Amino acid sequence: MTRTYYVIAIMTGVALVAGAVTYRSSGEETSSLAADFNEGDQNQLGGKLNVFQRAPSLAEKEFVTEQRRGSFGRSLRIHADREPEGFCGMWMHFFDMDASQPVYFDAEGYRYLSFWVRGENGGEDFTIKLADKKWIAKQDSIAVGSIADFLPGGVNTEWQEVLVPLHTDHTLDWRQLGGLTLDFDKPGSHTVFVDDVTFKQAERTVVPVRVPVRIVKRETVVVAPEPDVIVLPAAGARVSRVEEFRGDLAPGRNAVVLVRCAEPNSPWWIQEQVERSGERGIKSRVRFGNEKTPPGTEFHAVVILPPSDEAARQFRVGETLKTLPEGMPQSKVVQVVSK
């Protein structure tokens, strides 16, 4: 039986310095990713997040991988025990509170604040609040509605997108938006997962797309796919079971190599850690099948880009993926065959 394998190199290192990751759809609508929680407490805008509480009510947060959107990264888990007395919830800033001159988020050009939510049991309830620079100074925020106002069926155990319309009658300065608060103001125990907080120009704008834009010091730089990252093995080469992998990759990025059999539903196998070789060189060892793999087996190689070093660390040697991470640029496919 002839089998076909694929080799994937996954790269990271897209720097996020106090700026949202901006995506542009085919219809020219723009979305700015504010927080995907893959980096922990600090988001793509440089903002921090935390829980707030007053006894006897309490709240806890955790960044988790078992419940997340997509095939890699993390989501934010919030657990709140709301008693009749006290209060609890989560706040998130859209600016770097430690900066000497904080830069608040300019939401003037966006129509919606979007985030995704799912409940542990369903039926969880909370109020959504927003704050501008003025309200941040007061350490307070304005309620824009309960979650039921934006999800008519309420929170359930599936991921649902919450679209909060901006530029409503609230007296917020949309050019200096400061933060988001989820206030668990109804008595009871609530556990929800939140992911991908995004500002969107259109309701149907899809995030992410293949070519992301990163904002570094408020300047937009397009991060294009690397079309010819793989150097060795060369296209059409005959390869041994264990082969050296070499590539050409810009400084500051990392790579992870995956191998997959081309048969339907075959998993992707994570290979040995990639090392740097010179300014642009990368190298690793990859395994094309095993001792039972017959000569003439085909392999393919391709390169894709996760958004950060933290995302790369999610790929552990020897583990498998059912599918490739979504929304990442990829290189040309290189085909080789076993000796």
pLDDT tens per residue across span 187-201: 999 999 999 999 998
Backbone angles phi, psi at 147, to 5 degrees: -60, -30
Together in a domain, 89 and 120: yes
Together in a domain, 98 and 115: yes
CATH code of the domain in which 133 resides? 2.60.120.430
Please tell me the predicted confidence (pLDDT) of residue 276: 86
| Percent of the chain at pLDDT exceeding 70 | 80
Q: Residues 143-150: what's their mean pLDDT? A: 95
Together in a domain, 192 and 273: no
Together in a domain, 314 and 242: yes
Together in a domain, 35 and 105: yes
Report d(CA 317, CA 314) in Å as an integer. 10
Range of the structural domain that residue 38 is part of: 21-216
pTM (two decimals): 0.57
- Indicate whether 2 pLDDT > 60: no
Report d(CA 88, CA 127) in Å as an integer. 11
Together in a domain, 205 and 254: no
Domain boundary residue, one of 216, 239, 269: 216
Question: What sign does the CA torsion over 226, 232, 234, 237 have?
Answer: negative
Q: Residues 132-156: what's their mean pLDDT? A: 93
Please tell me the least confidently modeled range out of 9-18, 132-141, 272-281: 9-18
pLDDT tens per residue across span 287-310: 888 888 888 888 777 776 666 777
Q: How many residues comprise the chain?
A: 339
Together in a domain, 109 and 8: no
Together in a domain, 234 and 194: no
Please tell me the predicted confidence (pLDDT) of residue 124: 96
- Indicate whether 108 pLDDT > 80: yes
Number of domain units in the chain? 2
Which amino acid is it at 91? Answer: W
Please tell me the predicted confidence (pLDDT) of residue 71: 66
pLDDT tens per residue across span 34-61: 999 988 888 989 999 999 999 999 999 9
Together in a domain, 89 and 164: yes
146 within 8 A of 185, measured Cβ to Cβ? no
Q: Tell me the pLDDT band of 245, cut-offs 50, 70 and 90.
A: confident
306 within 8 A of 325, measured Cβ to Cβ? yes
Q: Residues 95-101: what's their mean pLDDT? A: 88
Domain boundary residue, one of 216, 243, 264: 216
Report d(CA 188, CA 192) in Å as an integer. 13
Please tell me the predicted confidence (pLDDT) of residue 77: 96
- Indicate whether 271 pLDDT > 70: yes
Q: Which residues, 6+ apart, have CB-to-CB distance to 149 below 8 Å?
A: none
Q: Residues 159-185: what's their mean pLDDT? A: 92
Residue 213's closest CA among 2, 70, 19, 10? 19
Report d(CA 226, CA 248) in Å as an integer. 9
Please tell me the predicted confidence (pLDDT) of residue 156: 95
Decide which of 214 and 182 is more confident. Answer: 182
Please tell me the predicted confidence (pLDDT) of residue 220: 43
Q: Under the phi-then-psi rule, with left for phi > 0, alpha for psi from -120 to 50, and beta for the rest, what region is 229? A: alpha
Together in a domain, 78 and 204: yes
- Indicate whether 246 pLDDT > 90: no
Domain boundary residue, one of 160, 181, 216: 216
- Indicate whether 153 pLDDT > 80: yes
Together in a domain, 102 and 244: no
- Indicate whether 79 pLDDT > 90: yes
Together in a domain, 237 and 315: yes
Please tell me the predicted confidence (pLDDT) of residue 226: 46
Q: How many other CB atoms sit within 10 Å of the CB of residue 333?
A: 14
Please tell me the predicted confidence (pLDDT) of residue 20: 53
Q: Tell me the pLDDT band of 247, cut-offs 50, 70 and 90.
A: confident
Please tell me the predicted confidence (pLDDT) of residue 329: 67
Please tell me the predicted confidence (pLDDT) of residue 277: 87
What average pLDDT does the chain have? Answer: 81
Which amino acid is it at 63? Answer: F
Q: Residues 245-269: what's their mean pLDDT? A: 79
